[in-house]
Structure 1
Amino acid sequence: MGRRTTLPAAVAVLALTCGCGAADMTRQASPFAGARGSKTVTLSVQSWVGAQANVSVAQYLLEHELGYRVDTVQVDEVPAWDALSQGRVDAILEDWGHPDQEKRYVDEKKTIVRGGDLGVTGHIGWFVPTYLAERYPDITDWRNLDKYAALFRTAESGGKGQLMDGSPSYVTNDKALVKNLKLDYQVVFAGSEAAQITQIKQFAKEKKAFLTYWYAPQWLFEKVPMTEVRLPPYKEGCDADAAKVACAYPHTPLRKYLNADFARSGGAAAAFLKKFKWTTEDQNEVSLMIADQKLTPAEAAKKWVDGHESRWKAWLP
């Protein structure tokens, strides 16, 4: 996940709309995106369930309250900027911070405009299960990780401790952090958020040790309590050189971006998406329904909309 840039089976329902691990998904753009006079909106969707929660609620309200047809397109987080610039999609609802893309498309080309804050602050970090942190309190300081490396060894980690990451398409600092902090660990990719969740839940069920790249907001914390490992403090600019990163991930206000033409001529849909803003708790509520309670995205969105009318009424133009 983007600063998941400097910097992410339970979510099988996302397969219809998400494809963070695939190559150049921009080719799947809707033929309706940017069509003049069309009552159609095309939204970019990433593979993590929080992004799906945003899109499902926005889609439900656009369709049921504003009369639009909504298409969703599977796009990796970096290619999504190119798709948005070209009008292949109309909006990105959850960006974790891509300053190079923002400079190129917003400030220089002016083909993308800022759509405002989503209302959610994202944070990536390294986590261990809370039951492990209670057993070994000093394990939550990165300087003590090598002391416990043997606890985290797996068949995939080559004799080193395993640091589990999700999708290889997420842009993370983890390999650089392991190298620059001189840690006896190997980054091992689960393959996707869904695969990573499955692995975490299995480790937790067996009360095994694990060290994982993870992020908030995320509904899994409610099912598997985890405690963050303290990395060297984040300071502005400490992650500017991806190869030299030796600091923690920042706390990142998640933001929305709109295609510039859509922002000007998208009418009620564009106005609505600019106003769309909710809380971490809202997002987690919908994410939990999709990923854990097995509701479809549309069912989860309807359930949330039915219970929060005063919230979403303020988003309507």
Structure 2
Amino acid sequence: MKSLFGRRSAIVTAVIATALVISGCSSSVNDSAGGASGDCGSYAIAMHAWGGYTASAQVVAEVAKQELGCTITQTTLEEGPVTYDAMEAGTIDVVIEDWGGGRWKDWTDRGAVVEAGENGNIGIIGMYVAPWMVEKYPDITDSKNLNKYADLFKTADSGGKGAWFEGPTGYTTIGEKMV
């Protein structure tokens, strides 16, 4: 998973990341709660709708405000093109993590978005199969075998085919690549 930055915020974001590491090494909670040492500017963080992202963004925002004196705004946006367009327009500066697998390439090619590299979080996008189904249908965990079990996933709206549910609208998924 990658972190992305608008053109103007790559340097300050590196400073924020360094402050996070340094504040985590403090010997006392009170040592790191001393407040901002200056004004680092105003930055807008894109907020995406999943728990881990929200937690990471909140930590970055608080360190930037408390330790660096930044003014931080957090704006809720859908993942992907909506966020990248906001970065290109200059209304969003930082995406804490992005699971898009390079879908930002058009924006990086134009210089609107800078890929900052891995952010240290490790995660896997995949498919969940209930344990009882694995016991009853051992090969169902291989996505190549899902068509054998399509009847199990029919719904009134699926036109006689199995339905595939990938999560809330806007979540990054790889279902089409898996099936």
User: Distance between the aligned counterparts of 1:105 and 1:149, measured in 2?
Assistant: 38
Runs of 4 or more above 4 Å deviation: 170-173
Name the counterpart of 2:47: 45
Which of structures 1 and 2 has the bigger CA Rg? 2
Name the counterpart of 1:64: 66
Q: Secondary structure at the match of 1:126?
A: coil
Name the counterpart of 1:139: 140
Matched, 1:165 2:170: no
Query: Are the structure 2 counterparts of residues 117 and 142 from structure 1 closer, same or farther at C-alpha, using a change threshold of 3 Å?
Result: closer
1:173: Cα distance to partner? 5.4
Matched, 1:82 2:89: no
Q: Secondary structure at the match of 1:73?
A: strand
CA RMSD of aligned residues (A): 2.7
User: Distance between the aligned counterparts of 1:101 and 1:69, measured in 2?
Assistant: 26
1:139: Cα distance to partner? 1.6
User: Distance between the aligned counterparts of 2:145 and 2:108, measured in 1?
Assistant: 42
User: Distance between the aligned counterparts of 1:140 and 1:106, measured in 2?
Assistant: 36
Matched, 1:120 2:124: no
Name the counterpart of 1:99: 102
User: Distance between the aligned counterparts of 1:143 and 1:43, measured in 2?
Assistant: 39
User: Distance between the aligned counterparts of 1:53 and 1:75, measured in 2?
Assistant: 16
Query: Are the structure 2 counterparts of residues 117 and 159 from structure 1 closer, same or farther at C-alpha, using a change threshold of 3 Å?
Result: same
1:25-75: per-residue Cα shift (whole Å, max 9, x none)? xxxxxxxxxxxx773221011122222122111112222222323211122
1:252-302: per-residue Cα shift (whole Å, max 9, x none)? xxxxxxxxxxxxxxxxxxxxxxxxxxxxxxxxxxxxxxxxxxxxxxxxxxx
1:145: Cα distance to partner? 2.4
Once the two structures are superposed, the pairs formed by residues 20-31 of structure 1 within 5 Å of their partners are none
Q: Any gaps of 5 or more consecutive residues in structure 2? A: 1-38
Aligned residues: 140
User: Distance between the aligned counterparts of 2:170 and 2:73, measured in 1?
Assistant: 23
1:122: Cα distance to partner? 4.0
Does the aligned pair in 2 maintain the 1:84–1:90 contact within 8 Å? yes
1:155: Cα distance to partner? 3.2
Query: Are the structure 2 counterparts of residues 66 and 131 from structure 1 closer, same or farther at C-alpha, using a change threshold of 3 Å?
Result: farther
Amino acid at match of 1:79: V
1:67-90: per-residue Cα shift (whole Å, max 9, x none)? 323211122221211211221111
User: Distance between the aligned counterparts of 1:44 and 1:65, measured in 2?
Assistant: 20
Normalised by the length of structure 2, the TM-score is 0.63
Does the aligned pair in 2 maintain the 1:96–1:122 contact within 8 Å? no
Normalised by the length of structure 1, the TM-score is 0.39
User: Distance between the aligned counterparts of 2:121 and 2:103, measured in 1?
Assistant: 21
Q: Any gaps of 5 or more consecutive residues in structure 1? A: 1-36, 178-246, 250-317
